[in-house]
Structure 1
Amino acid sequence: MICMRIENIRKKMEKKGIDALLLVSDSNRNYMSGFTGNESFSVITLDRAIFITDSRYTQQAREEVKEYEISEYKGSFSDYLSKLAKELNINKLGFEDDIISYSQYLEYEEKLSCELVPIKGMVQELRIIKDNDEIKNIKKAASIADKAFKHMLTFIKASMSEKEVELELEFTMKKLGASGLSFTSIVASGVRSSLPHGTATDKIIQNGEFLTMDFGCVYNEYCSDMTRTLVIGEPNDKMKDMYEVVLAAQKKALKTIKPGLTGKEVDKVARDYIQSKGYGEYFGHGLGHGVGRVVHEMPRISPTGNEILKPGMVITDEPGVYIPNFGGLRIEDLILVTEEGCEILSKSPKELICIK
């Protein structure tokens, strides 16, 4: 698997006209090497692959990284990299221009005698199609999130704070086997539920309010992502109408997802429906995004999403309606694009649930 990834990236390197590639981001470096730690580097040339770390991770690297030469550096990494570039006769070094800071770039530019070539998206283009092992890990992460949500339905009640809900949710996912969180959980109730990314506060959850929970976990380096919105107590007619519209839009998009469509075509199905029901101005974000080693990656399922959907992509379908000073909701599933259409990885119920 790692050998194939190295072979594929080398084809991209040759096409780009670079003779070496420097990877510093955890997601790209670990995808290309099998490492599970951080604060390390890799340099891939057309005939060598070198994994570079310090004494904290040398033993771990030797155990996990099988297709690379393992090299331990001391002192300044840029000094080490400069020396390595000369030894390997590197003329054009690709770097992650969307990851490396401007100050780091200036340091490399000063110390390296080779040309630095930006390669934004090169590894991400490989990561966009998941193999069987990746899909298995994502499904497990989604299953953990589903089990945590099921528990939360027995835990949540009026008079709790949003932070209490957040802590229980995150504790439960880790107790069920998650190694961490995909992102800071979103727990927003009442008027705060109109904030698409409203993180938990000390606000007390009250009857007659929406409670939106957007959360995910990490399992074996892979993320899940789902959103469910509950009503505490009884919803009013406006809340019922909003929920019905968002749920219908989410389901319409699900029925549309299949290989060959672009992200913007799928987005349009949900967006046009929400617009037709009078809530268009309250749906401002894209319908979804890719999920994998990080929770937001290619492809984009949005009005600007030009990537064509292919089997093996994992994406989200998450329309929402957010009305300031009233409240909002979002319903999100994690989706695997298949040869025939799609498979829904989030198994939790989506029909309106009221917590009495």
Structure 2
Amino acid sequence: MEPDLTQLDEYLDEAGVDGYLVDADSEDADQYYLSGFDAPDPFVTLYDGDVRLLFTRSLEYGRAKKEARAETVERGADFGYAEKAQEYGPQEARSRVIAAFLDSHGVGSVATPPRFPLQTADGLREQGIEVTADDSGAVTEVRATKTDEEIEYIREAQRANEAAMARAEELISAAETNADGELVLDGAVLTSERVTEEIEVTLLRHGCALDETIVACGADAADPHDRGSGPLLTDEPIIIDIFPRNKRSRYHADMTRTFCHGDPSEALREWFELTDRAREAAIEAVEPGVETDVVHGAACDVYEDAGLPTLRSDPTTETGFIHSTGHGLGLDVHEMPSVAESGETLQPGHVITIEPGLYDPEVGGVRIEDLLVVTEDGYENLTEYDIELAVA
């Protein structure tokens, strides 16, 4: 994939700097996006109109020359790292090598991502390089608008996500109930941990990985980020939130469904129906040029009209709708734009979640989440999974 970095060029012109510098390993999404290179140890990427890589050590040098999205690939040895390390010590030598690398490309001033190693910044300043923190997150802004290829990566991850969700629903649906109201499958209590394991195994079989997921039942589901633990219970809400990353493309998907084995209470049914209506209202508001606070507001309207609190109506509430309506998604599971009161303008190519929810320990929690891409004339919902509360 060749990203369009025109917006980054404009940022460099406006900031009055010669280049953009990243010092991180490839788990940093900005680093991976700019370099196109996957490495477990930190390396330096310079963007000065072209992408240029520098490796202090030579371990990744040969592979980077073949695989990286870079005009030039250089190493510490090209700038006398060994001699400098002997004279100045390894850290100052690294600073001197990076400074020499920048100087060789006519770069005397750089902007850096908001999260950039302080030691690297201080070391470069000592070598006469002007270092400015980019508080706007210019590369992150560029990443927010996805190419058709990136959207296909996300779509692929979402299909794997749906297979994992189907496996989780299958387990819950097939379970019976013991005298304590716990779900039992194949003679053993069905726990959050067991369902999580099945989700993760299914994702692996579809080329995806996930370190964490949410399978939260009953009162656990009243906390939006409680991972859940222990036995799953009949007649109680079970929130399942899966956000895998495709191991090949590194792009994420995200989806939440709420299930109930048994007989949902009247309150739970009402909450589920309201949340589905809030989801639909927010989705209907999505189109290019719309501010995200309008989308968020559409979900809030549904809840507030039903007499339920939201953070918009009561910023101190601890129950009701207590989070934003969604977030951007791509190389990071949470990225720009935020679908919240803060308000950002939706553009074609933005991939966002729509995930309203209600929470109260007395009822539990309900959340329903779809994944959308903003198109030239509206949106496409990348989620194909049914929305049903009762599964048995």
The two structures share one fold, judged by TM-score above 0.5: yes
Whether contact under 8 Å (1:253, 1:266) holds in the other structure is yes
Whether contact under 8 Å (2:165, 2:199) holds in the other structure is yes
Consecutive unaligned residues of structure 1, counting only runs of 5 or more, are: none
Compute the TM-score of the two structures, normalised by the length of structure 1. Answer: 0.91
**1:113 is the counterpart of 2:128:** yes
Distance apart, 1:335 and its partner CA: 0.4
**1:160 is the counterpart of 2:190:** yes
Q: In structure 2, what is the Cα distance between the partners aligned to 1:86 and 1:167?
A: 51
Q: What is the aligned partner in structure 2 of residue 284 from structure 1?
A: 322
Q: Residues 253-332 of structure 1 correspond to what in structure 2 (within 5 A)?
A: 253-281=282-310, 282-305=320-343, 307-332=344-369
Q: Residues 65-214 of structure 1 correspond to what in structure 2 (within 5 A)?
A: 65-73=68-76, 75-76=90-91, 77-97=94-114, 99-109=115-125, 111-120=126-135, 121-156=137-172, 157=175, 158=183, 159-178=189-208, 180-181=209-210, 184-201=212-229, 203-214=230-241
Could you say what secondary structure the match of 1:50 adopts?
Answer: strand
Code of the residue aligned with 2:134 in structure 1: it is I
Whether contact under 8 Å (2:235, 2:261) holds in the other structure is yes
Distance apart, 1:124 and its partner CA: 1.3
Q: In structure 2, what is the Cα distance between the partners aligned to 1:126 and 1:199?
A: 32
Distance apart, 1:41 and its partner CA: 2.0
Could you say what secondary structure the match of 1:116 adopts?
Answer: strand
Whether contact under 8 Å (2:146, 2:351) holds in the other structure is yes
Could you say what secondary structure the match of 2:281 adopts?
Answer: helix
Could you say what secondary structure the match of 1:5 adopts?
Answer: coil
Using the aligned pairs only, state the percent identity: 27
Could you say what secondary structure the match of 1:295 adopts?
Answer: coil
Larger Rg: 2
Code of the residue aligned with 1:224 in structure 2: it is A
Distance apart, 1:107 and its partner CA: 4.2
Q: Residues 215-254 of structure 1 correspond to what in structure 2 (within 5 A)?
A: 215-219=242-246, 220-254=249-283
Distance apart, 1:101 and its partner CA: 4.4
Code of the residue aligned with 1:114 in structure 2: it is I
Whether contact under 8 Å (1:24, 1:96) holds in the other structure is no
Whether contact under 8 Å (1:250, 1:318) holds in the other structure is yes
Q: What is the aligned partner in structure 2 of residue 40 from structure 1?
A: 43
C-alpha distance 200-63 of structure 1, shift in aligned 2 (>3 A): farther
Could you say what secondary structure the match of 1:198 adopts?
Answer: coil
Whether contact under 8 Å (1:288, 1:302) holds in the other structure is yes
- Of 24, 28, 31, 2:33 maps to 31
Could you say what secondary structure the match of 1:264 adopts?
Answer: helix
Distance apart, 1:143 and its partner CA: 0.8
Q: What is the aligned partner in structure 2 of residue 62 from structure 1?
A: 65
Distance apart, 1:96 and its partner CA: 1.0
C-alpha distance 325-34 of structure 1, shift in aligned 2 (>3 A): same
Distance apart, 1:341 and its partner CA: 1.2
Distance apart, 1:12 and its partner CA: 2.2
Q: In structure 2, what is the Cα distance between the partners aligned to 1:71 and 1:277?
A: 61
Whether contact under 8 Å (2:259, 2:388) holds in the other structure is no
Paired residues in the alignment total 347
Q: In structure 2, what is the Cα distance between the partners aligned to 1:40 and 1:85?
A: 14
Q: In structure 2, what is the Cα distance between the partners aligned to 1:333 and 1:59?
A: 42
Q: Which whole-Å deviations, capped at 9, do the CAs of 1:39-73 have from their partners, x for residues lacking one?
A: 22201224x53212333422331221143211223
- Of 360, 368, 383, 1:346 maps to 383
* Range moving further from structure 2, 166-175 or 65-74: 65-74
Distance apart, 1:6 and its partner CA: 4.4
Q: Which whole-Å deviations, capped at 9, do the CAs of 1:207-246 have from their partners, x for residues lacking one?
A: 1111111112112111101111111221011111111111
Distance apart, 1:91 and its partner CA: 2.6
Code of the residue aligned with 1:223 in structure 2: it is H
Q: In structure 1, what is the Cα distance between the partners aligned to 2:372 and 2:290?
A: 15
Q: In structure 2, what is the Cα distance between the partners aligned to 1:262 and 1:79?
A: 45
Whether contact under 8 Å (2:22, 2:116) holds in the other structure is no
Distance apart, 1:108 and its partner CA: 4.0
* Range moving further from structure 2, 272-281 or 83-92: 83-92
C-alpha distance 280-60 of structure 1, shift in aligned 2 (>3 A): farther
Q: What is the aligned partner in structure 1 of residue 53 from structure 2?
A: 51
Compute the TM-score of the two structures, normalised by the length of structure 2. Answer: 0.83
